[in-house]
Structure formats: structure tokens, C-alpha cells
Amino acid sequence: MLEASPKMKHSGHWMKVRLRVIWRTTSLAALSAMLLLLTVAEAPAKVTTYKGKFKDGATYIIQVPSNWNGTLVLYSHGYVIPGFSNPAEDVGDPITGGYLLANGYALGGSSYATTGWAIQQALPDQIEVLTTFNSLVGQPKRTIAWGHSLGGMVTAGLIQRYSNRFDAALPMCGVVAGGVGTWNQALDSAFAFRTLLASGSGLRLVNIKNPVKNVDIAEAALTAAQKSAQGRARIALAAALDDTPGWFDPLSSEPSPKDYAKQEANQYSWLSQIDFPFGFDFRAELEGRAGGNPSWNNGIDYRKQLEASVDHAEVKALYQKAGLSLDADLGALQGATRIKVNPPSLSYLKRNIIFDGEINFPVLTMHTKGDGLVVVEDETAYKDVVDEAGNDKFLRQLFVHRAGHCEFTPAETVVAFEALISRLDTGNWPNLKSQDLNQAAEALGSSYNVLEVNGKKVHVGPKYFKFQPATFLRRYDAGHR
């Protein structure tokens, strides 16, 4: 998953930044039997571990249990900030890893040759893991791709670019709206923030030369704005253009729909602790890769963007409370000098990567509702392009009613994984009703139903729920510009 900068405050899976059930029927009797199976602990198998380094400098790790069932699970990790430790990873959390190994699954993954927006290196490095596995262990009967956050994007990229090497995929909290749309939407939010709250500050939106100074300017302006009703209304507008949710703490309940003050306070937390480092600092790393700015907002109608945002009502209410004219501020955005793209940089980001919807085997995605870094609307963007390609029968999407980025419990992860295995085993999607998923997760026991918060495991119940995300505001993929 995506990792944090020193400026960020984190919980759980963020910082790195992490029995087998046969699921075949929707009948209550069969479900009860399945839940009983899930309560049975299995003894850990003996595991053989292989480690090494590729020619490009990426390291890899492969773990094979003595009871290997012939399936390899290839894990793609998330964004690692340049300068941070970048070891090879083959699973998102050790509890899920222990489950998979005990149940006969081999694990593999690489570090990628570089940190940052490493899609260009991640895709071939992950394929090299598969080639190395074949040499060291043997050809798997089937291979499943999965990963968190940027690793979810890598997962979707792997099955698009190397579909013949995989049999199924589980992208989790993935950047599945694609690189172009994701960075464009972030630019919209940053553009509104600078125009309304940091004009004349020297804050740069693109072509960032001094990223540390740049994010410091942004954070100072944000802190000052949060102290007034007018500033908070404008923060909410900037957040709305990226569909930033008004929910931050994964251990908290979602704020009520009309608790706009609480929603804005949570958006402030997302911006100050998570999103601003990416928008005003780490964008420079991407621009270095791309040879310039790959984003633009010329031609964007911000009135229409706000109307489509999930935060529209909040913004209207906070503007009214602050005595500000929303119409005037939207007019200021419309009249402000726009950002133009550097075409070769756009070409780089399109390659690294946008999606075409061409999947031909089972893909199951997962996302939390209150994700303020990779917003849940990414899932709509991915589903739309898959549907338009006529491949909807291969895609299913699961949602967890929780705040936070990639804040899934091992129980929720295992249940999703087993649902995907069932689809492979039977040729049909199993029951994915939220109530039944939650019962299956709960049956795994307390050791699986945990989140790691501030270095401590906290018991939480499973939170699958029925949900349909809104439209992704700046969709951009291979079939829709």
C-alpha cells in the first residue's frame, strides 16, 4: 500500500505503506458448515524461503510451504517514499501470510527496482518473480495477483499487460482509476486550494523544483485556513474536487450525513496528514520520471465538478454558514489561469498506467468507503471501463464500511481471497452478500479480526456492506478521454 512521509500521522496498515473454506453455495445450511470449518486452526507448514536480487537491483522473496497446493500468490506492495527502506514483500500482513502458507499457498513478491511512482519498474520486476519461481520451484498450476494501494494498481496493470501469466486477481484499495485521472483529480483539489487560500504564497502546483519547501508552504496555508469559518468552507471545496471523504479514523463511526463540521475536520486531517505530501511534494518525483508535468485542468468546469462531488452538500452548507459566496469562489476558479499538460509526460503516465477493461478471468476488488488517499470512486472508474469492454462477468467488487486507506482486517482479506478461490474452483461467483461475508470473517476468530493501530492490535468486527460509489470525477482510461 502507499506509505507515509514523516509529516504523516498513521495507524495500522499504513506504515508499509502491510482451514481453507470451500465457498460454493448460498444456502444457510452450507454457510453454517462453512463457518464451522473456518473456526478450525491448521498447523503451520514447513516453509522454504528464497531471496535474491535481479539485474536491475530489485530484490525478491518467495516462500513455499511443504504442503504447496500448486497456487502461487504474487503480492505487489504500495508506494514507497524515495529514501525510505524498500525491502521485497510477498504479503500485506503477517496474519494473512500465515493463513495462506498454512493452507498451502506459495507467496512471492519483489521490492521493485525503484521507489516512488514505480509502475514502470514494478511490472517487469513482478513478472521476473514469476520467472524466478518457475526456475526455483516449478511451474504453478495457477497464479493469482494481488496487492494494496499502488500495488493494487500494479496488480491491475499486470493482468492487463501480462494476462497469459495469471488466472485471477485481487486488487485491494487500488489506484484503479489509472494514473492520469488520479493525478488530474489531485490537481483539481490543489488548484482550488492555491487559488482560494494560498494565492501569492509561491505555492507550485506543477513543475515543482523544491518539493520540501513547497509542501511546507501548503501546510502553513492549510493550518491558517482551518482557524476560520471562511477558511474551513474553502478547504471543504478543495477537498470536494477530489471527493475526499469526511471520515478519517478507522476506529470511529462515520459522521452523520449533515454533520458538516465533523466532515470538514476529517477532510482537514486527510489533507494535512496524507494528501498534501502527495500533491505538493511527491508529485515532483512523478514529474522527474515523466520529464515534466503530466496533468492539466484547462477546459474543466469546476461548477460541474462540484455538482458531481459526493461532498457537494457539505460545501454549500459550510459556505452559507461562513457567509461566503460559493458562486463567487467558483467564478474565481473558472477565471484563474489554467494548467496545461506536457504531452510527452502525459504519454509516460498513460503507459504507467491507464486501464482498458480487457480482463478475461476473475477479478475481485476491495475498498473501504472512507479512503481519502485512493478514493472509493476509483472502483467506479474501473468497473465502467470493464463494463464497456463487455467483461463485467469477470469482475466483482467488495466494500468495507470503514475509514482509512487499506484498513482491512486479516479476516476480511481472507474471506475475499477465499471467495476468489471459489470462483476459480467452481467457475461461478459465490455468494457475496455482506451479511454472509461478515459471518464468515467473524468465524475466523478474534486473532483475524484486528487492525494494527499505533503499533497495537485492536479488535474490530468485519464491516462488509452493500455500496455503490459515485462517479470518479476525472476519469481517463484507454476507451474514454
pLDDT confidence of residue 466: 98
Total residues belonging to the chain? 481
> For the chain, which residues score pLDDT lower than 50?
1-41
Between CA 359 and CA 391 the distance in angstroms is 6
Q: What domains, with CATH codes, occur in the chain? A: 12-177+354-459 (3.40.50.1820), 179-349 (no CATH)
At position 179, the amino acid (one-letter code) is: G
CA angle centred on 340, ends 335 and 341, rounded to 5°: 155
Count other C-beta atoms under 10 Å from residue 76's C-beta.
34
Angstrom distances, CA of residue 109 to CA of 78, 94, 117, 202: 12, 14, 17, 41
Cβ contacts of 263 within 8 Å, gap of 6 or more: 236, 246, 247, 255, 311, 314
The phi, psi pair for 397, rounded to 5°, reads: -130, 135
Q: Which of 237, 267, 226 is nearest to 249 (CA)?
A: 267
Q: Which of 124, 172, 175, 185 is nearest to 150 (CA)?
A: 175
Taking only the tens place, the pLDDT of each residue in 215-229 is 999 999 999 999 999
pLDDT confidence of residue 481: 59
Between CA 242 and CA 185 the distance in angstroms is 6
Residues 239 and 307: beta-carbon distance below 8 Å: no
Q: Per-residue b/e over 283-319, b at no fewer than 16 CB within 10 Å?
A: bbbbbebbebbbbbbeebebeebbebbbbeebbbbbb
Max alpha carbon distance in the chain (Å)? 68
Angstrom distances, CA of residue 21 to CA of 288, 346, 409, 412, 419: 47, 45, 17, 14, 9
Which string of DSSP letters, residue by residue, matches 295-357? ---TT--HHHHHHHSTTHHHHHHHHHHHT--HHHHHHHHHHSPPP---HHHHHHHHHTT----
pLDDT confidence of residue 360: 97
Between CA 24 and CA 9 the distance in angstroms is 42
β-pair partners for 47 = 65
β-pair partners for 169 = 145, 363
Taking only the tens place, the pLDDT of each residue in 286-324 is 999 999 999 999 999 999 999 999 999 999 999 999 999
Q: 60 by DSSP, 3-state: which?
A: strand
pLDDT confidence of residue 152: 98
Q: 230 by DSSP, 3-state: which?
A: helix
Q: What percent of the chain has pLDDT over 90?
A: 89
